[in-house]
Structure formats: C-alpha cells, structure tokens
Amino acid sequence: MAEPAEKIQDVGLDDGAARLTPERIERVINGVLAAAGGARLRSYVETCVHCGLCAEACHWYQSFDKDPTFSPAGKVKQTMWVILNRKGKVSPEFIRRASEIASTECNLCRRCVHFCPMGIDIAYMMVLIRRICHRLGVTFCHHEPDVGEGR
C-alpha cells in the first residue's frame, strides 16, 4: 500500500528555504529562465493540452496508487506552471516543495516523454526546476547536515 505523502524532514531543504528571501527567489528564477528557458520551455508549457495521458508512464504515480499529484503533468503543474504564472514571485515554502518534487519525486527517467502525444519533454522541465532550486541552495542533503551549506 502506498503511504500518504508526508512532509519530509531534511536539513538541506529546511535550512536552504529558511535562508531565502522573495527578492532572491525572483532574481534567481528569472535569471535561470532567461538563460536556459528558451523555445522548448515555451513550446512545452504552451502546447500541453492537460490531457493526463502521461500519468500511466510514471512509476511514482503507479507506486503511489495513482495519486495524481505524482503524475508527470501534475508535477509540472505544481512547479513550472506556478513559476511562470507568477513570473518567479513564489514563496520559500514553494521552492522547498518544488525541490522535493523535482529531486525526490522524479527520477528524470523520461518515460513520460514516450507517452506524451505532443512530444513534450517533461523531464527537461524538472531539470530546470532542479537547477533553480540548486541555485537557491534548497537541495536535499539526505543525512549529512553540512552538505546543504553554501551559495
């Protein structure tokens, strides 16, 4: 049976998020998107017809009893859609959750890409989220508290 998704305790995430300010988040996000978010990001987000056909592809979705929050498009919805809608004005708590999604609920296996009729590379968007979170210093450290330091 799948466990209900509970809030993960992680020093890297908690301490990283605690250090964030809204200005920094906005600056970093827009910096990353300006540099790395080009035609593909735009096309992927704007072409997704919200059909949900990618869900079946994802082993996270499957092993969490088809919880839609684990579906590939569901993960994009909770991360990239919000970031683009709010133009980077998101909270530290949001970044913490985004990091959790992009780093621990997606393995970038790209199986969903093979299921998307529109040819959308969902993993690519998860990589962008990971990059943003990394730049913001909100990354997983698993056990060792000091790895989360820096930047």
Which residues of the chain form contacts with another protein (CB under 8 A)? 36-40, 42-44, 46-53, 55-57, 61, 66, 68-69, 71, 73-74, 77, 113-115, 117-121
Please report how close the Cβ of residue 61 comes to another protein at its closest, in angstroms: 7
In the bound state with another protein, the residue whose beta carbon lies nearer, of 113 and 141, is 113
Residue 74 CB, nearest approach to another protein (Å): 5
Task: Give exposure, 47-75, as e/b (b: 16+ Cβ within 10 Å).
Answer: ebeeeebbbebbebbeebeebeebbbbbb
Shortest spacing between CB 80 and another protein, in angstroms: 12
CB of 55 to another protein, least distance (A): 4
3-state secondary structure labels for all residues of 28-81: HHHHHHHHHCCHHHHHHHHHCCCCCCCHHHCHHHHHCCCCHHHCHHHHHHHHHH
Please identify, using beta-carbon distances, which residue of 62 and 104 lies nearer to another protein. Answer: 62
Between 70 and 94, name the residue whose CB sits nearer to another protein. 70
Cα–Cα–Cα angle for 105, 111, 114, rounded to 5 degrees? 145
